[in-house]
Amino acid sequence: MMFMIHSRLAVNLLLAAASACAAESAPSSGDNSRTNLYQEKYRPQFHFSARQWTEYKLNPGLREEGWMNDVNGLIYFDGEYHLFAQRWAKCWIHAVSKDLVHWTELQPAFWEDLRFGAGVQSGGAVVDKDNTSGLAPDAKTKPLVAFWAGWDNRSQCVSYSLDKGRSWKEYERNPVLVHPERDPKVFWYEPDKRWIMVLSDEGSYHFFTSKNLLDWSDLNVSLPYSYECPDMFQLPVDGNLHRQKWVLVRGNGRYSIGEFDGAKFTPETDQLPCDLGANFYATQSWGDITGQPGRRVQIAWMNGGKYPDMPFNQQMTFPCDLTLHSFPEGLRICRLPVKEIKSLYGKKQTWKNLIVRPGENPLQDISGGLFDIQLQANLAGAKEFGLKCGGEPVKYSSDRRTLSCLGKEAPVEAANGCLTLRILVDRTSIEVFAGDGKVAMSSCFLPGPQNTGLELFSLGGSLKIVSMTVHSLKSAWPHFARPPYWDNNTAR
């Protein structure tokens, strides 16, 4: 079975080899000076990617500064979103944001402990708002508690922060649990007033419980056909906070909707894809966002992207709001970019009731490489239509009823001949959302030197654009001042 042969190590070794091959054949990218941070040729301008701290090296590989893979414990605390990610088990990358768009990368959160093998693997984090752990010396301080697995794939450990995540201390009595395998996801289960841990366990998810985050009991419940990087949460059904369902997302982005009784998750759906693009893996999500009840924001590692001769390697998807909606076939998750993207909006252009004939391109005067595009199309007589973004086509086939982008296809129904699309274009990625987010496709690409601007096309007949808006986007990194700690050697 797929989960038995899949290995994070195998995936990442292949990625490293691919990146190395791409680097060997790629031309020089020009100015790679350290003062050019966040402005490098292939650096995403509104998707998060990692930086280097103590060295400047092109094409960083596994465990090296600038590399990034699995998303780790995401928490919201005191007005800040905390984003963690793997540097391939060397440490956890750590960044904070007020708006999910503009990020400040901090020093790595914590490091491998050789007592448990040469690596600190993926996991989760929580805000211990009632200090159930007793890790804070006073009632006013709310510990941030992170859970990670050692490289031995059995030692489940804790690190914690008492200063809003600016420094971390390893729990002196680690490990808090010894059980195969890794990727502990922890959340609070309010009906029973206790914590739940979901652990990836050799092709299954295994469940544990604790009152204090430090002493764990086995619930003796496993969920098969589940592997790596679990995420589990509730979502309101059709926006109703009084009617919620549990969602369990696996490392490959496939999710199940069901019920959870504090010990056992009972799926009510098959495993369904969050995303059908070429680069989407190891998702995690933010919840418990102050003043925004029911909001759940997901982000994933865009594994497999290539960035030749760059001082970084890999990027994240753009954060997306998750909502749960009723459809004729049942409940389904919808994903759409977070509304905070509006802070990057530049020039806006709109069209209404536009007829596009084969060979015409009404977007020919638009230049640039960063866009948020929203359109509603009436296919009319068109057999195929689409947009070329950075030279890469996003196209819909009326005959096949499929949406395709960068080598991947997704089934999409055009209700009554109409289709809605939302497309985010960054320097090295395209994210497509169809049917108000019911179908999503996240993929990476390398643009050619002349591939900027947009091309709207129709084949086999005329297309009617009912409405279309194109926002040019500003960089999320408009200014970067070299920090005074750039060359300090606290990073390893």
Report the distance separating Cα 490 and Cα 492, nearest Å: 6
- Nearest 5°: CA angle at 16, between 115 and 432? 110
For tokens 């050019």, the residue is 36
Residue type, 466: V
Terminal Cα-to-Cα distance of the chain (whole angstroms): 38
Report the distance separating Cα 377 and Cα 419, nearest Å: 5
- Say if residues 377 and 466 touch (Cβ distance below 8 Å): yes
SS3 85: strand
* Paired tokens of 233: 């949460």
Report the distance separating Cα 13 and Cα 286, nearest Å: 29
- Say if residues 199 and 144 touch (Cβ distance below 8 Å): no
- Say if residues 487 and 409 touch (Cβ distance below 8 Å): no
Phi, psi of 298 (to 5 degrees): -110, 145
Give CA separation, 178 vs 182, 200, 227, 311, 332, in Å. 10, 13, 18, 37, 36
Residues in the chain: 492
Question: Which residues, in sequence order, are bridge partners of residue 209?
Answer: 196, 217
- Say if residues 122 and 92 touch (Cβ distance below 8 Å): no
Give CA separation, 16 vs 10, 22, 61, 125, in Å. 10, 10, 6, 28
Q: Catalytic site residues?
A: 70
- Say if residues 189 and 210 touch (Cβ distance below 8 Å): no
Instruction: Catalogue the long-range contacts made by 139-144 (C-beta closer than 8 Å, 24 or more residues apart).
Output: 142/77, 144/75, 144/77, 144/82
- Cite the DSSP H helix spans in 411-465: none
Phi, psi of 339 (to 5 degrees): -65, -20
For tokens 């997704």, the residue is 410
